[in-house]
């Protein structure tokens, strides 16, 4: 598997990342009310696992431009807390039940405490960077600016994702999806970790732009693969709600393609099923899934994801040859090969 180099790198740095994440949440003693109602909720959620791709990306980008990867670890952890907040809040918006093989935070603790824990995670993002003694002030400002961009773009993408469902929007193109996915996932799962790592590593403008383009294509492919896993995997494999995207009528690339390629009565039927939202039956969901296969929408999404990864790899040629550059190329392959 082409992704083995990246998986080996993740296994190597994962313990250090997890120790650092846990240390940021050691501000309240176990057994205290503050731990029970806040620190412990977030610590348990973050401690469930996750691939820690974002901190690893920041470290790899830093090293690929000649920097010390460990200087990028705190900022990478800051992005990981942003990721945790996004997941907690998304699960509430989507009325999800499972996350990383466990019940969602809002199911266990109630929506109010879950929202508050997510808000706390967001607060940690900038605090971690400001208090990082390993960065000079000018680098901190550049990193904080990148984090601000990441936050705004992610929320913009989420607004489209949720708004299209609320308003039952049907007239969408693949380009509309790519804009949404770039915002919702592309920045915090690709562009921003790499950009921040490059900034900390002292990258040239050319190197930074190459890493950002690599991250953009890789992260959109990551989101498409996530959409595919939601309908092709199973609940045990993905660790979250299987088929939930169809139950929620999400406008994935596959759904947009199916709307564009189904005609007359079949398109009307697909629109009717989308309009049902959470009221869809299990048979309705299976009917939608069958249409996605019948109209070639699943194969189309796979093809787009593969093309994005191929294009992503071309941008890495700007960087000097190194082990870290090779691991980044392996990471892009991992985004397509992953099963959860």
**What pLDDT, on a 0 to 100 scale, did the predictor assign at position 242?**
81
pLDDT tens-digit profile of 1-33? 678 999 999 999 999 999 999 999 999 999 999
Q: CB-based burial of residue 279 (10 Å sphere; 0-12 exposed, 13-18 middle, 19+ buried)?
A: exposed
DSSP string for residues in 147-183: HHHHHHHHHHHHHHHHHHHHTT-----HHHHHHHHII
Q: How many CB atoms sit inside 10 A of residue 15's CB? A: 10
Domain interval for residue 300: 4-337
Mean of the per-residue pLDDT values for the chain?
95
Query: pTM of the full predicted structure?
Result: 0.94
Backbone angles phi, psi at 103, to 5 degrees: -65, 145
- What is the rounded CA–CA span in Å between residue 130 and residue 271? 48
Express each pLDDT in 171-181 by its tens digit.
999 999 999 99
Nearest alpha-carbon partner for 82 in 8, 6, 158, 171: 158
Q: What is the domain count for the chain?
A: 1
pLDDT digits (tens, 9 = 90+) for 44-64: 999 998 889 999 999 999 999
Cβ 192 vs Cβ 149: under 8 Å: yes
What token pair was written down for 301?
Answer: 């999404």
Q: Is the pLDDT of residue 219 over 80?
A: yes
Residue pair 31/65 in contact (Cβ under 8 Å)? The answer is: no
Give the domain CATH number at 15: 1.10.600.10
């Amino acid at each position: 598997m082409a992704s083995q180099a990246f998986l080996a790198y993740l296994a190597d740095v994962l313990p250090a990342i997890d120790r650092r994440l846990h240390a940021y949440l050691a501000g309240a003693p176990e057994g205290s009310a503050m731990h029970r109602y806040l620190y412990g909720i977030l610590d348990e959620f973050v401690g469930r696992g996750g691939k820690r791709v974002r901190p690893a990306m920041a470290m790899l980008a830093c090293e690929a431009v000649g920097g010390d990867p460990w200087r990028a670890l705190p900022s990478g952890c800051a992005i990981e807390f942003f990721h945790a907040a996004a997941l907690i809040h998304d699960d509430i918006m989507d009325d999800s039940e499972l996350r990383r093989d466990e019940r969602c935070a809002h199911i266990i603790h109630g929506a109010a405490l879950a929202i508050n824990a997510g808000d706390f995670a967001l607060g940690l993002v900038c605090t971690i960077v400001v208090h990082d003694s390993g960065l000079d002030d000018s680098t901190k400002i550049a990193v904080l600016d990148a984090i601000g961009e990441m936050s705004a773009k992610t929320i913009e993408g989420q607004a489209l994702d949720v708004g299209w469902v609320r308003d039952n929007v049907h007239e969408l193109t693949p380009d509309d999806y790519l804009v949404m996915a770039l915002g919702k996932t592309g920045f915090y799962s690709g562009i921003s970790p790499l950009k921040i790592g490059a900034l900390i590593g002292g990258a040239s403008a050319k190197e930074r732009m190459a890493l950002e383009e690599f991250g953009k294509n890789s992260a959109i492919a990551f989101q498409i693969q996530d959409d595919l896993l939601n309908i092709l995997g199973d609940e045990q494999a993905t660790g979250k709600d299987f088929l939930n995207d169809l139950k929620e009528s999400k406008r994935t690339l596959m759904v947009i393609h199916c709307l564009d390629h189904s005609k007359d009565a079949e398109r009307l039927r697909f629109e009717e099923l989308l309009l049902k939202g959470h009221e869809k039956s299990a048979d309705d969901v299976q009917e939608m899934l069958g249409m996605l296969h019948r109209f070639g929408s699943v194969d189309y999404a796979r093809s787009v994801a593969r093309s994005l990864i191929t294009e992503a790899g071309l941008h890495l040629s700007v960087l000097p040859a190194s082990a870290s550059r090779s691991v980044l190329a392996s990471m892009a392959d991992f985004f397509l090969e992953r099963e959860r």
